[in-house]
């Protein structure tokens, strides 16, 4: 330990799950780190509330609810909650701002990785990859046939993007290689040059539902987007349509989706996220045309390191009195500056 390191202030922080090592090293160098390592893997609520007490900062995951009770348990010295995710529906940002606590997320570093995963799900659902894999593993015997396991063409079809932020646009850009037409819906329309650059045309939601062969969801979870997709929306979609969700599970009414898949109202779905995660609606697990994977959107070695590094940088910046780069509530930062 250098003299410099010895003399510098060290802040007590809580890290709620083992992060990639470079992130832990960075935090450990500047902070007195309490790391939850389980079991169980996800920190139980009572342990979270106990361990956050007296901390100056925390790195949290989407599995932890950061709300008024959390802030009460933490105490007034808490300065920063650095979320290890781009989505922050687990954080009550308004409450965080009210308490003068900075909240950060990890955008950008996972955009392309999540877009790749959305495409993997789209292809898998359209071409029945999971079902084929299960067939062979079942060792029941099979023979090539003209009508065996027919899927849907992806190339030259219409891709509908719901939620045209960073990840939605990255998914849209990938469609040009497949010669697809891209349409999108978002409450916030970007400037026309963004539409031109990405090669996507705006549609009102109902038109997109009717027109798209593939729909990929990339909205944040808010009260307005909860159950954005339900019985009515599935009815409006083509019977050959494929729905992909790598955003947040509650955007889809899972029971209604299971029924739409069962009755053939839509062709298939590829799901990375679930309404009551980690549970998956049992009816979906019975359906061959539901491709389900366990929230792997950002799960690559490089991207998880990048997310951890960004979360650690945000944490340390706030504790050192610098503005974190991906701050969700600049008002809380202004407050620390006496603004």
* Contact residues for ligand DGY, defined by CB under 6 A: 62, 85-87, 110, 297-298
51 is a catalytic site residue: no
Choose between 262 and 295: whose C-beta lies nearer to ligand DGY: 295
Name residue 161's beta-bridge partners. 184, 216
Cβ 273 to ligand DGY, closest distance in Å? 7
Of 177, 184, 17, nearest to 85 by C-alpha is 17
Cβ 101 to ligand DGY, closest distance in Å? 20
277 is a catalytic site residue: yes
User: What SS3 state is found at 160?
Assistant: strand
DSSP letters, 49-65, are HHHTTT-SEEEE-TTS-
Cβ 86 to ligand DGY, closest distance in Å? 4
| Residue keyed to tokens 């898949």 | 261
Structure tokens given for 275: 């309404």
Other CB atoms within 10 A of residue 194 CB: 12
The residue from 47, 295, 331, 335 that is catalytic is 295
Cβ 159 to ligand DGY, closest distance in Å? 21
| Phi and psi, residue 246, nearest 5° | -125, 25
User: What SS3 state is found at 135?
Assistant: helix
Helix axes 129-137, 111-127, angle to 10 degrees: 60
Cβ 334 to ligand DGY, closest distance in Å? 26
Choose between 56 and 221: whose C-beta lies nearer to ligand DGY: 221
Rg (CA), the chain: 22
Choose between 158 and 307: whose C-beta lies nearer to ligand DGY: 307
Other CB atoms within 10 A of residue 301 CB: 8
Distance of CA 194 to the CA centre of its chain: 23
Choose between 18 and 335: whose C-beta lies nearer to ligand DGY: 18
Choose between 256 and 307: whose C-beta lies nearer to ligand DGY: 307
295 is a catalytic site residue: yes
Specify whether the CB–CB gap between 174 and 198 falls below 8 A. Answer: no
User: What SS3 state is found at 191?
Assistant: coil
Cβ 165 to ligand DGY, closest distance in Å? 12
Choose between 14 and 310: whose C-beta lies nearer to ligand DGY: 310
Residue nearest to ligand DGY (CB): 87
Of 113, 162, 96, 38, nearest to 306 by C-alpha is 113
The residue from 248, 254, 275, 304 that is catalytic is 248
The residue from 277, 288, 331, 335 that is catalytic is 277
User: Which pairing describes strands 102-104 and 181-185: parallel, antiparallel, or unpaired?
Assistant: unpaired
| Phi and psi, residue 286, nearest 5° | -90, -10
Active-site amino acid positions? 248, 277, 295
């Amino acid at each position: 330990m250098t003299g410099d390191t010895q003399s510098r202030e060290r802040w007590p922080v809580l890290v709620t799950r083992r992060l990639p090592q470079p992130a832990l090293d960075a935090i450990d160098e500047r902070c007195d780190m309490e790391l939850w390592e389980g079991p169980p893997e996800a920190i139980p609520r009572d342990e979270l509330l106990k361990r956050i007490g007296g901390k100056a900062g925390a790195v949290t995951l989407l599995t932890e609810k950061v709300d008024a009770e959390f802030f009460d348990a933490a105490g007034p010295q808490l300065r920063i909650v650095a979320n290890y995710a781009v989505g922050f529906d687990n954080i009550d940002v308004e409450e965080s701002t009210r308490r003068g606590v900075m909240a950060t997320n990890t955008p950008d570093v996972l955009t392309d990785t999540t877009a790749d995963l959305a495409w993997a799900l789209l292809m898998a659902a359209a071409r029945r990859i999971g079902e084929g894999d299960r067939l062979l593993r079942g060792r029941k015997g099979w023979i090539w046939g003209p009508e065996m396991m027919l899927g849907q063409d992806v190339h030259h079809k219409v891709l509908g993007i719901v939620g045209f932020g960073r990840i939605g646009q990255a998914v849209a850009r990938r469609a040009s290689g497949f010669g697809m037409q891209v349409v999108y819906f978002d409450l916030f329309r970007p400037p026309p040059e963004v539409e031109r650059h990405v090669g996507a045309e705006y549609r009102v939601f109902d038109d997109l539902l009717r027109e798209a062969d593939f729909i990929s969801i990339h909205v944040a979870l808010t009260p307005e987007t909860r159950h954005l997709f339900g019985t009515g929306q599935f009815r409006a979609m083509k019977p050959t349509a494929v729905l992909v969700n790598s955003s947040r599970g509650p955007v889809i009414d899972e029971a209604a989706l299971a029924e739409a898949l069962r009755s053939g109202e839509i062709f298939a779905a590829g799901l990375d996220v679930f309404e009551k995660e980690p549970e998956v609606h049992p009816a979906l697990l019975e359906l061959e045309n539901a491709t389900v994977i366990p929230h792997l959107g950002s799960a690559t070695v490089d991207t998880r390191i990048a997310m951890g590094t960004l979360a650690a940088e945000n944490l340390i910046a706030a504790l050192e009195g610098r503005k974190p780069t991906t701050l969700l509530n600049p008002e809380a930062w202004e407050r620390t500056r006496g603004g």
